[in-house]
Amino acid sequence: MKPLLYVFGANGQVLTLAMSYMMIILPGTVFMFPAYMLLAIFVAQGNSKISMIVQSTALTTNIILEPIFIYGLHLGVRGSAIASVIAFFYIFDFICLFYPD
């Protein structure tokens, strides 16, 4: 991970923060990629309303959780990553409820 971050110009404190963010956000992609794939399937089937509702509520959830985790719980960059993973999980979970058997 460090070599990739070096390529993007991270060093010093930025590298440390980027590493802590990536260590949390990367496992969260387990929920992100299937969720966005399922959302695309809904849109392809002509049911874009569910996709819009799910993404809007996940964004709202992320907006609410970010300051709570960053400032309220004093987690900083790690809190931002945790809030994003929770939003990814929300999308995945909610879309699985709507997905027809």
Domain locations along the chain? 28-98
How far apart are alpha carbons 4 and 18 in whole angstroms? 11
Q: Please answer whether residues 99 and 50 qualify as being in contact, where contact means their C-beta atoms are separated by less than 8 angstroms.
A: no
How far apart are alpha carbons 73 and 75 in whole angstroms? 6
Residue 8 has φ and ψ, to the nearest 5°, of -80, 0
Q: Please answer whether residues 91 and 55 qualify as being in contact, where contact means their C-beta atoms are separated by less than 8 angstroms.
A: yes
Q: Which residues of the chain have pLDDT under 50?
A: none
The residue type found at 82 is: I
Residue 47 has φ and ψ, to the nearest 5°, of -110, 60
pLDDT at 100: 62
